Amino acid sequence: MIRTPPDATDTSIDVDIDIDEIRRRLTAERAELLGKLSTVGEDATVRRSDVPDGIGETEHLVSAERQDVSSRVLALTRHALDEVDEALARLDDGTYGDCIGCGAQISPDRLDAIPAASCCLACQSSREGITR
């Protein structure tokens, strides 16, 4: 249950969100990320043994660049998986929908758009250095 104030006089109106649907979406996203993690992880750790010794500098650079990109994608995928796991933990402990920055309720529209969101829009903007 998420509480949002519709006006200044009433500060405790309940806005229902479908926790089961949020959990389903987060679980599906988690499964997708785990699949990507195994695929990208293989790409990031594989040495290019199919490249014979004595090849030109360009081929080595392309191979190194490909491995670098795979490593970066791997790090981003791990980070996204951590965010999903943290959101599932917040669902379990009853704090889902509470901003970890200021404690305010995250808007239901934001949670619908980004189920793993841990911050309200104001705190997320502040974290990213965005001024509104």
pLDDT tens digits for range 17-62: 889 999 999 999 999 999 999 887 666 555 555 555 556 778 878 8
Can you give the residue ranges of every domain in the chain?
Answer: 2-6+26-45+57-127
Would you say the pTM of this structure is higher than 0.85? Answer: no
Burial label, 112 (beta-carbon count in 10 A; 0-12, 13-18, 19+): middle
CA 74 to chain centre: 13
Whether 87 has a pLDDT exceeding 90, the answer reads yes
By C-alpha distance, which of 117, 118, 112 is closest to 21?
112
Predicted pLDDT of residue 55: 61
Considering only the top CATH level, what class is 2-6+26-45+57-127?
A: mainly alpha
